[in-house]
Every structure is written in structure tokens, then in C-alpha cells.
Structure 1
Amino acid sequence: MNRLQSSRKGRTMSVPFLCIGLMTLMMVVGIIALTSGVKGLGWHNLSELMSLEPSNLLVYKVWYVRLPRAVLAVIVGGGLAVAGCLLQGITRNPLSDPEIMGINQGAVFFVVASLAWFGLKDVTATILIAAFLGAAVGGSIVYGLSQVSGYTAIRLLLAGVSVSLFMGALTTGLIILHDERLSEILYWMAGKLSGTNWTDIQLSLISIVPAMIASMFLANQFNIFVLGEDAARGLGQHIVWVRRAAFILVIVLVGGSVALCGPIGFVGLMIPHIVRAWVGTDYRILIPISALTGACLLLVADTAGQWILYPTDTPVGIITALLGTPFFLYLMRRKREEG
């Protein structure tokens, strides 16, 4: 079905053309991110880039500094957007986001503990494991608290906010106790893509990308789930299994993202809302289009962050926060008016 009607505003948008537009935007911004500001790069020496020789300064800057950063922005942006789709589907609450639900903060706490105690300066498999453990612990606590006295979406959201605040307080305490590494930790916590290398890409390909693909297999289940638990049970859906599977995928997506580039907020909050306005609420379309849109958003935000205060590199997490905070306030106001 090439044209899907937005369930809220009654507009239609061609999904194939939307995909082409998003991929075109991604390619254009990617080219800008790779080539702009590279000293000495011009039309006359573009052929040098094809040598892939790291001893060549231009080749090194483009293929070993700029390209991994752009690729990671695409993968992490897509992963966070998909995580937001899954969380909003689980809770049936438009304000749900990994940043708010405690999963992000759990991963941050464990990674900050690794940085504080072991002094790891580069993203490694150790930090990746720490982020997965933190996301799993935070997510498990949230899920466990939501089951007390019977699961409801409101209990899940309140448990997420509580765990997020608690983990944030623990993280602050760790930073105070290890103030000798304060600047390193705070820079990482701002959410940054600088310093990305091809090892980071490999780690993302075995963590974030498989989780995004696996989320597509839950699309039909989510189309039933969002009708309400009673309707889903009546249609024979195993609600607990769907919820747990989605939570595991969110943990992998968020844990991998936090490990590789620090906490980046609001992507999972903004993108599902924007995409639902374009294509409606069919998760078979919503998830892949959200992944593409999230990839574009983070790539644009990171590219802008490199030039806003040039030569200072503004962490991409700050850019997304500047975009996401007013968006969050807008959603709260709209939800209050609708209520």
C-alpha cells in the first residue's frame, strides 16, 4: 500500500517517496559531513581518496575520522528512534522515552562507574558490557516495580521516572567522588560522536543493528497490542511475552547507544511523534521510517554541532536536548489540553 493515511490529521504521504527523500537527505548531509572543512580537499585531489591509504592525511581525515562518525550517527539515531517507538507502544503513553524510563540512566551509571574506577578513555567492549548491564538493571527494576499490585502503563511510567532520578543521583555521587576525572566523564555524558573509529562501528553492527532488525518482527504484535490489553488477549496475543521481548530490544538498543557515544536524549521521544503524523500508526511502517528519520536527525544534529561553535565541537547530545526540551513541553501541553 503506497499511500497511507495519517490516523490523526487525515493527511496522506507516499511511503516510497518518503523513504527516497529521507535517504537523499542522509546522503547529502553525509557528503557535507565528510568533506566540509577538510583542509586541502578539492576537486583536483578527490582521486586521492580512492587510495584508502591511511598514511595520506586527506584519506585519514575522510575515511578514518569523518566516515566512522557519520556512520555511527546514522546507526545510533535509528536505534534510539526505534527504542522510542517500542517504549511508547509498550506504555501506550506518548511521553515515554529511554531518557525518562530509567533505562538510559541505568546504562549511564554503570558506564560512569567503569570510567571512574578503571579510567577507560576509549569506548571498548568493557564499556559496552557495562552499558548493557546498566540498561538491563535499570530496565529490570522498572519492569519489576511496574508489576507490584498489577501491571498498568501508568505504573510503568512512574517506575521509570523514579528509577531514572535514582540512577541519576547515583551517577552524580560517583562524579563527585571521582572529581579528578570530572571533565572526561562530563564530556562523555554530554553525548558525543567525536573520536569514533571503525571498532565502534563493528560493535554497533553486532548490537544495535540486529536489535533494530528484530524489532520489525514485533510490528504485527504491536499493531494488536496498541488496541488495548483486553482486545489483544481476545485476539490470542501473549501480552507478557510481547512486553518482555520489546523491553529486551530496548535494553540492547539503549545500552549499545550509550556505550558508543554517551547518553543522547529526546531522539526516541520526538521521532515516533513526527513519523506518526506522516504515516499513521501501523508499526510495519512506523518502525522502519522512524529508524530512517532518527538516523537523519542525529546525522544533521552532529554535523550542525561541528560548525555551530567552530572550531569547538559541540556534543550532539546538547543539540538534541535543545530540540527535544521544547518538543517535550509541547507534548505535555497538548496532552493536558486533550485530557
Structure 2
Amino acid sequence: MNQLQSGMRGQTKSAPYLFVGFIILAIILGSIGTFVGVKGLHWSNFSDLFNYDESNLLAYKVWEVRLPRVTLAIILGAGLAVAGCLLQGITRNPLSDSEIIGINQGASFFVVLSLVMFGLKDVTVTILIAGFVGAAVGGSLVLILSQSGAYSGTRLLLAGVSITLFMGSLTTGLLILQEDKLSEILYWMAGKLSGANWMDVKLSLLCVVPGTLIILLFARAFNIFSLGEEMAMGLGQNVVRLRRLAFVIVILIVGGAVALAGPIGFVGLIVPHMIRSLVGTDYRLVFPLSALAGINLLLAADISGQWLWYPSDIPVGIITALLGTPFFLYLMRRKMGDG
């Protein structure tokens, strides 16, 4: 137990300030995403937003277009960041992320397959189910391949890259055969929050939010798990059940996120490393702070995507990829140097 306490030592005194800072930043970014840049909105007519009716176009833009997008960014940012923490914890690999180890691509392939089979209209529930199934298939294949023989972080990474390429090839093949639907599906595959509505938010409350909250409740269990499987079992922890539960939760969050907004990658890679460098390895701090940091990262990325090439709207998945790809290469190089 002394090892557990020493392993979690970090700059924990800064945690309360980080909580407050992240919450304030999220409020600022959320307000910017909701109100700033709305054509026709000024301080002089701001009160008109609270007189909502069908003829009030300004209020419609804010409450039915902007606010659902910001709300979905908050939910998905928190969920993807915490799912990344969970993946890195159960695989004991700091390079693990749903984008890298095949979960995103598995979900994407099954969602694209469902869109090809059932069309692009009124298929919200269908693609949600397809996202769950695809995330489960992609993640399961990676786990099976990485555990055939002695488990290692390198084996997991190679298995993940292989499944990502394989699923990506299948998805590309489907798109080539469906040229009439190509542009709309490609825009979704880039990872987008534009077009989000309150139905998307409601669906995220059924899958992403519960999974995120469940993870927060298991922080102490993952502190023990981080010591190693043998020591965790010696302390009475059911390691197999914990890993299975964690895998199901990751599927729930990532599958739902991909179905609702497309494959938004690297949030779960960048955020956990940043938080661990600030507060150490205590999951009781890492999980909730990662959720808050993920919210800020996705809000900032979405706002940047709207403004960088205005009036064009760059999908948020492209922005996170521009940030995450060099970060992944940096981590991989450092890991190889440590090895």
C-alpha cells in the first residue's frame, strides 16, 4: 500500500486550482461557442434571445443550432478523454487511444456500412447500434491479437495499427462503391459537430454520459490495478472482471461518440498525459480533471474549426488530428528512447 501511495504522488496541491480553472475556461469557451459570431446578435438585442418563438430567427440560431453543438462537444469531450485514461490504464500502454488501436475505425466501418445499407435519413438509432457493434469488433480483434502470446505494449500497438489499417481499407472500399453518397459520408468521417441537434444530445445522455460517470466511480479500483495484475489480485481485486467492465464502458462511450459525431481522435491520447504531468497518477484526480480538460480541448478545437477558414467549417476531427498526430509521434519517440 505504501507503493500505491508513493506511485500516486504528484503536484496534487494544484488540483483544486486546476478544477476551478478548467471549469471557468469551459464556461468561457462554451459562451463563445454559443453566442459569439451569431449574425445579427449584439448587446442591444441580447434580451431577444429569451423571447423564443418560431418567428425569432436569432433565438433559433442560438438555442437550436449553437447550443446543441456546444452541449454535444462538452459531453463527447469529457467522455473521450476519460475513455482514453481508461484505455491507457487497462492496457498499461501510454500510447493507447481509440483512434490508434482500432476502436474508432471499427465503429466507423460499421456505421458507414449501415449508412450504405439503410441510407442517410432517419437512421440515428441504426448508426448508434452500428457504432457500438463496430467499436466492440475493432477493440476485440485488437485485444485478441495483442494477447496471442506474451502481452506487451508494443504488441498491442502493432495489433491496433493493423486493425486500424484493415478497417480503414474496408471503409474506403465501401465509399468507392457508393460515390453518390461519398461527400456527405466523408464529411461525417472527418469527425464533425456541425448539424448537432437536441436528439443527438439526448442519445449521448443514454450512452456517453452514463459510461463517463461509471468510470469516475471506479477511480480507486484503477489505482490498485495500476500497481500490476499480481499485486492487484493479492489485494483482493478481480482483475479480469475489472478489465472486462472497462472494455464495455469504452465501447459504450466511443461507439456512441462515433455514431453521433464521427471518429474524433486523439482527445483520449493528449488529455491523460497532460493531466498526469500536472497532478500525478491518482485516478481519483486524473479521471475528473481529464473530463474537464477534454471538454475544453474539444470546445477549443470546434471553435477553431469554425473560425480558421471562415465561412467554411473545418470538422473538429481534423483539428484534433492536427494536434494529436505530432503528439503521438513525440510520445512514441520518447517511449522508444526510454526502451
- The TM-score by the shorter chain falls in which range? over 0.9
Who is 1:306 aligned against?
A: 306
Instruction: Measure, in 2, the Cα distance between the counterparts of 1:263 and 1:293.
Output: 19
Instruction: Measure, in 1, the Cα distance between the counterparts of 2:161 and 2:7.
Output: 29
Instruction: Measure, in 1, the Cα distance between the counterparts of 2:213 and 2:136.
Output: 20
Who is 1:113 aligned against?
A: 113
Superposition deviation, residue 121 in structure 1? 4.6
> Contact 1:6–1:278 (CA<8 Å) still a contact in 2?
no
Superposition deviation, residue 52 in structure 1? 2.9
- Normalising by structure 2, what TM-score? 0.94
Could you give the per-residue CA deviations for residues 33-81 of structure 1, whole angstroms, max 9, x where no partner exists? 1112212111121111112324310100000000000010111111110
Who is 1:75 aligned against?
A: 75
Compared CA separation, residues 155 and 333, structure 1 to 2 (3 A):
closer
Who is 2:176 aligned against?
A: 176
Who is 1:194 aligned against?
A: 194
Compared CA separation, residues 283 and 122, structure 1 to 2 (3 A):
farther
Instruction: Measure, in 2, the Cα distance between the counterparts of 1:147 and 1:327.
Output: 26
Who is 1:37 aligned against?
A: 37
SS in 2 for 1:14: helix
Q: Output the amino acid matched with 1:252.
A: L
> Contact 2:216–2:284 (CA<8 Å) still a contact in 1?
yes
Question: Runs of 5+ in structure 2 lacking a partner?
Answer: none
Instruction: Measure, in 2, the Cα distance between the counterparts of 1:195 and 1:243.
Output: 35
Who is 1:283 aligned against?
A: 283
Superposition deviation, residue 151 in structure 1? 4.8
> Contact 2:102–2:161 (CA<8 Å) still a contact in 1?
yes
Superposition deviation, residue 144 in structure 1? 2.9
Compared CA separation, residues 283 and 294, structure 1 to 2 (3 A):
same
Instruction: Measure, in 2, the Cα distance between the counterparts of 1:83 and 1:317.
Output: 17
Q: Output the amino acid matched with 1:315.
A: P
Instruction: Measure, in 2, the Cα distance between the counterparts of 1:67 and 1:10.
Output: 37
> Contact 2:9–2:281 (CA<8 Å) still a contact in 1?
no
Give structure 1 regions of 4+ aligned residues with deviation exceeding 6 angstroms: 5-9
Who is 1:133 aligned against?
A: 133
Who is 1:236 aligned against?
A: 236
Instruction: Measure, in 2, the Cα distance between the counterparts of 1:144 and 1:40.
Output: 55
Could you give the per-residue CA deviations for residues 102-138 of structure 1, whole angstroms, max 9, x where no partner exists? 1111100001111222221566111111101111121
> Contact 1:99–1:265 (CA<8 Å) still a contact in 2?
yes
Instruction: Measure, in 1, the Cα distance between the counterparts of 2:152 and 2:224.
Output: 17
Percent identity of paired positions between Structure 1 and Structure 2:
65
> Contact 2:138–2:163 (CA<8 Å) still a contact in 1?
yes
- Normalising by structure 1, what TM-score? 0.94
Question: Runs of 5+ in structure 1 lacking a partner?
Answer: none
Instruction: Measure, in 2, the Cα distance between the counterparts of 1:152 and 1:333.
Output: 17
Deviates more, 1:163-172 or 1:6-15: 6-15
Could you give the per-residue CA deviations for residues 220-262 of structure 1, whole angstroms, max 9, x where no partner exists? 1111111111211221211111111110010011001101100
> Contact 2:11–2:280 (CA<8 Å) still a contact in 1?
no
Instruction: Measure, in 2, the Cα distance between the counterparts of 1:269 and 1:42.
Output: 39
Who is 1:14 aligned against?
A: 14
Superposition deviation, residue 6 in structure 1? 11
Instruction: Measure, in 2, the Cα distance between the counterparts of 1:236 and 1:154.
Output: 29
Q: Output the amino acid matched with 2:95.
A: L
Q: Matched residue pairs, number?
A: 335
Instruction: Measure, in 2, the Cα distance between the counterparts of 1:12 and 1:286.
Output: 10
Could you give the per-residue CA deviations for residues 2-37 of structure 1, whole angstroms, max 9, x where no partner exists? xxx997996454222211111111111111111122
Superposition deviation, residue 153 in structure 1? 4.5
> Contact 2:220–2:284 (CA<8 Å) still a contact in 1?
yes
Instruction: Measure, in 2, the Cα distance between the counterparts of 1:300 and 1:75.
Output: 14
> Contact 1:123–1:200 (CA<8 Å) still a contact in 2?
no
> Contact 1:123–1:259 (CA<8 Å) still a contact in 2?
no
Instruction: Measure, in 2, the Cα distance between the counterparts of 1:11 and 1:85.
Output: 18
Residue 64, structure 1, aligned to residue 64, structure 2: yes
Instruction: Measure, in 1, the Cα distance between the counterparts of 2:230 and 2:153.
Output: 14
Q: Output the amino acid matched with 1:294.
A: G
Q: Output the amino acid matched with 2:300.
A: V
Who is 1:226 aligned against?
A: 226
Who is 1:92 aligned against?
A: 92
Q: What is the aligned-residue RMSD (CA, Å)?
A: 1.9
